[in-house]
Amino acid sequence: MKLTTISGLAAAVALFLPLGATAQSLSDLEGMSHEDRRAWFEAMSPDEREAKRAELMAERDAMSDEDRQAMRDRRRASHDQRRAEWDSLSDEERDAKREQRRGRHEEMRQRFESMSPEEREAFKQQRRERDHGNRGRHRDDHAGKSRGEKDSV
């Protein structure tokens, strides 16, 4: 291994260790950048990710309506900020970001293809259960509202 590769790995480990120690709640996650949050979550094993998702969803479900609305407002502001950052990128920078995204998708595809048929089916089932649960929670948050109608503050 080259020295730069080893030092790069050491820097990555040093960078991610504090993230694992600090991201214990929804508010901690909101304080992380989008890229840091993604790296922190991807560094977990599938079982750890699923357990953390369940823990965070339970925390979210226990929030008051006002706290949930405040969280949505912060997420909207973060989304708007990321959109503004994207809009400010040059064409070359956008292409580089797209290539990074393609690389992540390719890695996920390869991981999926390397699974046994049983692992694939278990993965698909977990996805269905998670996605079904998220749709139900989302509907509960916006019960009685038409698509595009905003929550009142």
Q: Does the pLDDT value for residue 70 go beyond 70?
A: yes
3-state SS, 95-109, equals HHHHHHHHHHHHHHH
79-129 residue pLDDT tens: 999 999 999 999 999 999 999 999 999 998 998 899 999 988 988 888 888
Mean pLDDT of the chain: 76
**Domain boundaries, given as residue ranges, for the chain:** 30-88, 91-134
Name 148's Cβ contacts closer than 8 Å, sequence gap at least 6: none
At 30, is the pLDDT very low, low, confident or very high (cuts 50, 70, 90)? confident
Q: Does the pLDDT value for residue 4 go beyond 90?
A: no
With 0.85 as the threshold, say if the pTM is over it.
Answer: no
Residue 115 has phi, psi (to 5 degrees) of -75, 150
13-22 residue pLDDT tens: 444 444 443 4
